[in-house]
Amino acid sequence: MSKRVVIISSSLRKNSNSEALASAFGQGAKIAGHDVEQITLRDKVLGFCVGCFTCQKTFKCVIDDDANDIVGKMKQADVLVFATPVYYYGMCGQLKTLLDRANPLFPSDYRFRDVYLLATAAEDEESTVAGTRTGIQGWIDCFEKAQLKDIIFCGGVTEVGEIAGNAVLETALTAGKNI
């Protein structure tokens, strides 16, 4: 059965390492016959959540920017994939801002069940991604029908394109094929 997969690439660098992971995952999902949309936050305008909670009644944020469209696509996805560079042992600010703005999903009838985290970092210890996992898991924990399905991490990559040829790209491709 074909699934709707929404991949959100949060790095602001064009052709970034985390974007390459996202693309590999998306390619695998397309090969498997799924409907895939990859969204980059690079060119999007995302304001900060103001904590008014109007969205809990209206299912829409009062801030009129790109987040509303992205959150609408997240709601309709069967699978969500978040790709982020790891900065200071956590997800990048753009992704955190989007997750905060996804608050209208909380009271809604969202479709997503499986969530994947794709992360890259300059440091290569497995513990490097622990803070990012905690942040993503905290968001997922607010959605009782959703689960963190897998984390794909590539450490030791700093410069744009440094991930090229890394075996983790095949891991991401395979994960996309297996959703």
Give the pLDDT confidence of 72-90 residue by residue, as tens digits.
999 999 999 999 999 999 9
CB 116 within 8 A of CB 140: no
- pLDDT bucket at 131, cuts 50 / 70 / 90: very high
Pick the CATH number of 4-177 from 3.40.50.360, 3.30.1230.10, 2.60.120.380, 3.10.20.30: 3.40.50.360
pLDDT attached to residue 1 = 87
pLDDT, average across residues 134-163: 96
Task: Return the pLDDT at 104.
Answer: 95
Domain boundaries, the chain: 4-177
Render pLDDT for 47-69 as a digit per residue (tens, 0 to 9). Answer: 999 999 999 999 999 999 999 99
State the pTM of this model.
Answer: 0.96
pLDDT higher than threshold 90 for residue 37 = yes
